[in-house]
Structure 1
């Protein structure tokens, strides 16, 4: 195991533990978005193909302008799974291999809290509840 993989394993365990402590619903599958980025669009495209072959849904590549004015391309490798550190470690291993092969950067993963008190994107919000009273 590489030092990078070990660091991601620790991240996986800590993040899953934090979600669990916050009360996320462990019975539900969570949508996991693994992030990959590269300055070379062609390399990123090849990585996306390999991520797809490895069983991930792949989002369209996006171009981001960095604070220093540079450009980077990125995409998400998406999978829906229950929170299980061993499964996450296996997924990270697969994506680290893809990243290494194509010289792209694996930038971790994110998910959304799942629970009875989770905010749904479909919920109707009253802007005054979040923006404060402007009067």
Structure 2
């Protein structure tokens, strides 16, 4: 991982949080955050999944995905349920970027769903 890649993910995180709040998503809600990791070496991806689990993430089964060029890639989700707190999201991001770097897999971002505010 290089510093530019981390900076891009930090910008992405701020943009997503801002967009959710500006669209009216519940700022006090508890969100299911899905982080995506991928790699061409299944064994390395499996090691990354174990590290993510040890770091407190729920880890989904690895899936095989076809690429546009006909190749294959393996991927899994590392899931955590949290409030939409920037500092916590950035801590999770840093943890998973380090895991991806250590295991030579690709961190491919995170996503969550809009939550209706409680009336």
TM bucket normalised to smaller: over 0.9
CA-atom RMSD, angstroms? Answer: 1.4
Write out aligned runs for 1:21-36 (5 A).
21-36=22-37
Structure 1 runs of 4+ with >3 Å offset: none
5+ unaligned residues in a row in structure 1: which ranges?
Answer: 117-135
CA–CA distance in structure 1, aligned partners of residues 8 and 88 of structure 2:
16
Larger RCO: 1 or 2 (CA < 8 Å, sep 6+): 2
Q: Structure 2 unaligned runs (5+)? A: none
Which one has a bigger Cα radius of gyration? Answer: 1
Match of 1:103 in 2: 104
TM-score (structure 2 length as normaliser): 0.94
User: What is the TM-score of this pair, normalised by structure 1?
Assistant: 0.83
Map Cα deviations across residues 34-85 of structure 1 (whole Å, 9 max, x no partner).
0000000000000000000111000000000111110000000000011111
Q: Provide the C-alpha distance between the structure 2 equivalents of 1:64 and 1:4, rounded to a whole number of angstroms.
A: 23
